[in-house]
Amino acid sequence: MADLYAWPALATIAALLVYLATFILVGRMRHRHKVMAPSTDGPEEFKRAFRIQANTLEQLVPFLASLWLFAIYVSALWAAALGAIWVAGRIFYMVGYFRDPAKRGPGFVVAAATCITLLAGALIGVVCRLFVLH
Amino acid sequence: MADLYAWPALATIAALLVYLATFILVGRMRHRHKVMAPSTDGPEEFKRAFRIQANTLEQLVPFLASLWLFAIYVSALWAAALGAIWVAGRIFYMVGYFRDPAKRGPGFVVAAATCITLLAGALIGVVCRLFVLH
Amino acid sequence: MADLYAWPALATIAALLVYLATFILVGRMRHRHKVMAPSTDGPEEFKRAFRIQANTLEQLVPFLASLWLFAIYVSALWAAALGAIWVAGRIFYMVGYFRDPAKRGPGFVVAAATCITLLAGALIGVVCRLFVLH
pLDDT digits (tens, 9 = 90+) for C14-58: 999 999 999 999 999 999 999 988 888 899 999 999 999 999 999
Span B2-20, average pLDDT = 95
Query: Quick one: pLDDT band at residue C79, thresholds 50, 70, 90?
Result: very high
Span A98-121, average pLDDT = 95
A74: distance to nearest CA of chain C, Å?
Answer: 20
Sign of CA dihedral B80, B84, B86, B90: positive
Q: Quote the mean pLDDT of chain A.
A: 94
- Cβ separation C129–A6 shorter than 8 A: yes
Which other chains touch chain C, taking contact as 3+ CB pairs less than 8 Å apart? A, B
pLDDT digits (tens, 9 = 90+) for B96-129: 999 999 889 999 999 999 999 999 999 999 999 9
Question: Using CA atoms, how far apart are residues B25 and B49, in angstroms rounded to an integer?
Answer: 6
Least CB-CB distance to A6: which of C62, C65, C130? C130
pLDDT digits (tens, 9 = 90+) for B89-98: 999 999 999 9
pLDDT of residue C2: 63
**Measuring CA to CA, which residue among C80, C81, C29, C85 is closest to residue C54?**
C29
Question: Using CA atoms, how far apart are residues C44 and C100, in angstroms rounded to an integer?
Answer: 10
C2: distance to nearest CA of chain B, Å?
Answer: 6
Residue A127 touches partner B, C-beta closer than 8 Å:
yes
Residue C13 has pLDDT above 50, yes or no: yes
Which residue type, as a one-letter code, is found at position A83? G
A96: distance to nearest CA of chain B, Å?
Answer: 13
pLDDT of residue B2: 63
In chain B, which ranges are continuous DSSP H helix? 6-32, 44-73, 76-99, 105-131
Question: Using CA atoms, how far apart are residues B55 and B49, in angstroms rounded to an integer?
Answer: 10
Which residue type, as a one-letter code, is found at position B15? A
Which residues in B lie closer than 8 A to residue C6 (C-beta atoms)? Answer: 73, 126, 129-130
Distances (CA, A) of C40 to A52, B70, C29, C70: 19, 32, 11, 36
Which residues in A lie closer than 8 A to residue C126 (C-beta atoms)? Answer: 6, 9-10, 13
Question: Using CA atoms, how far apart are residues A64 and A71, in angstroms rounded to an integer?
Answer: 10
Which residues in A lie closer than 8 A to residue B10 (C-beta atoms)? Answer: 126-127, 130
Which residues in C lie closer than 8 A to residue A2 (C-beta atoms)? Answer: 129-130, 134
Question: Using CA atoms, how far apart are residues A78 and B40, in angstroms rounded to an integer?
Answer: 35
pLDDT of residue C20: 97
Other C-beta atoms lying within 10 Å of the C-beta of residue B45: 15
Residue B133 touches partner A, C-beta closer than 8 Å:
no
Q: Is the overall model pTM greater than 0.90, yes or no?
A: yes
Which residues in C lie closer than 8 A to residue B96 (C-beta atoms)? Answer: none
Query: Quick one: pLDDT band at residue C1, thresholds 50, 70, 90?
Result: very low
pLDDT of residue C132: 84
Which residues in C lie closer than 8 A to residue A40 (C-beta atoms)? Answer: 51
**Measuring CA to CA, which residue among C68, B66, B91, B65 is closest to residue A61?**
B65
Residue B38 touches partner A, C-beta closer than 8 Å:
yes
Residue B123 touches partner C, C-beta closer than 8 Å:
yes
Residue of A4, A12, A16, A58 to mutate for C, most C C-beta atoms under 10 A? A16
Which ipTM was obtained for this model?
0.94
pLDDT of residue A1: 44
Query: Quick one: pLDDT band at residue B1, thresholds 50, 70, 90?
Result: very low
Span B28-50, average pLDDT = 92
Please list, in sequence order, all residues whose beta carbon lies within 8 angstroms of the beta carbon of residue A80, skipping any fewer than 6 positions away.
A7, A8, A10, A11, A71
Residues 88-107 of A with CB under 8 A from B: 97, 101, 104
pLDDT digits (tens, 9 = 90+) for A36-86: 888 888 999 999 999 999 999 999 999 999 999 999 999 999 999 999 999
Please list, in sequence order, all residues whose beta carbon lies within 8 angstroms of the beta carbon of residue B91, skipping any fewer than 6 positions away.
B18, B107
Q: Quote the mean pLDDT of chain B.
A: 94
Span B76-80, average pLDDT = 98
Question: Using CA atoms, how far apart are residues C39 and B42, in angstroms rounded to an integer?
Answer: 11
Residue C106 has pLDDT above 80, yes or no: yes
Residue B16 touches partner A, C-beta closer than 8 Å:
yes
